[in-house]
Structure 1
Amino acid sequence: MIDHIITRFHNRHREQLPELITLAEKVENVHGDRDDCPIGVTAQLEKIYAELSQHLMKEEQILFPMIKMGNYAMASMPIRVMEMEHDEAGQDVEVIKSLTNNCALPADACFSWKALYSGINEFIDDLMHHIHLENNILFPRVLNEK
C-alpha cells in the first residue's frame, strides 16, 4: 500500500501543484481586475505546495521506512503528526474552495481559468483519497500492530 500511495498520490501531487500554480498566476495576472477573479489562489497553492512537499518528504524518509521495517510502536508518534498535518491540509483546501467559490466558473471563463478549476478539483479529489487511505486504512493497520 505504501508504494501505491507514493506512486499514485505523492508523485501526482508533485506534478499537479506546479501546474496549478502556473495557471493560477496566469488567471490572476490576466483577470485580476474582475470581481470574480480568485485573487489569492496562487499564494494559497504555493503555501499548500510548500507544506505538502515537507509532509511527503517526512512520510517517505521517516514514517514509511519505519513501517516497512516493522517498527510499528515507533511509528505511532509520526502517525499522529501526519494526521494533524492532514487536518491542516483539509483546512487549506477549504481556503481554496472559498477563494474560487467552490470552483464555480464565470460564464465567460477562458481556457486557463477552466483548466485551473478542473485541475484544482482533480487535486482536491486526489488529496482527499490520499488522506483517506492513510488515515483510515494504513495508519489504523500500523497502530493495531504495535
Structure 2
Amino acid sequence: MTLSERSPSELIDHILARYHAIHRQQLPELIRLARRVEQVHDTHVQCPRDLADHLEELHQALESHMQKEESVLFPRIKRGGAARGPIAVMRFEHDEHHEALDQVMVLTRDLQAPADACTTWRALYDGLREFREDLVQHMQLENDVLFEQALVQEARHG
C-alpha cells in the first residue's frame, strides 16, 4: 500500500514515527557538529559561520510546528473535525521551513565540503543532506497527501 492509499490516521502515525521522531534526533546532533566545525575551523575561508545558530533557530521553529501538529491538527484530523484553518497555518510554516533550508544551502555552499574538510565537517554535511531530504519529504507528504485528504474529508462532512 502506498502512502497516498493510507487513511489520514495511518498517515499521521507514519509521520510521527518516520519524521517527527527522527527530526528530534537529527537536529541536536547537527547543531553539535556545526558548533564543533565552527569552533575548530573558524579561520577556514569555507567555514559555515552562523550555521549552528541557524540550525538552533530551525530546531526551535520545527519543534514548535510539530507540537502544534501533534496537539491540535493531528487529533482534529483523526476526529474528522474542521482542519482548514490549522492546515493553512501549517502550510505557511512549511514555506518558512523551506526558506530555512535554503539558508542552510547558502551557509554551506550547497553542502559542498572543502577538499581538506575533516571527518566531522563531512559528517555534518552528510547529516544535513539527509535531514534536508527527510524534511522535504515530510512536508510534501503532509501538504500533498495528508492535508488534501483532510480537506476532502472536511468538505464531505462540512
TM bin (shorter chain): over 0.9
Paired residues, number: 144
Separation in structure 2 between the aligned mates of residue 6 and residue 130 of structure 1, nearest angstrom: 10
- TM-score scaled by structure 2? 0.90
Find the counterpart in structure 1 of residue 119 from structure 2: 111
In the alignment, does 2:51 pair up with 1:10?
no
Post-superposition shift, 1:144? 1.1
Q: C-alpha offsets along residues 22-52 of structure 1, whole Å, 9 cap, x if unaligned?
A: 0000000000111100001001100000000
Given residue 15 of structure 2, which amino acid in structure 1 is its aligned partner? Answer: I
2:44 aligned with 1:34: yes
Secondary structure, in 3 states, of the residue corresponding to 1:37?
coil
Q: Which stretches in structure 1 are left out of the alignment for 5+ residues?
A: none
* Alignment partners' CA distance in 2, 1:44 and 1:51: 11
Q: Does 1:61 align with 2:71?
A: yes
TM-score, normalisation: structure 1:
0.98
Pick from 135, 142, 146 the counterpart of residue 134 of structure 1.
Answer: 142
Please identify runs of 4+ aligned residues in structure 1 that moved more than 4 A.
none
- Alpha-carbon separation, structure 1, partners of 2:65 and 2:32: 22
Q: Corresponding residue for 1:92?
A: 100
- Segments of structure 2 that go 5 or more residues without pairing to the other structure are 1-10
Aligned amino acid, residue 14 of structure 1: R
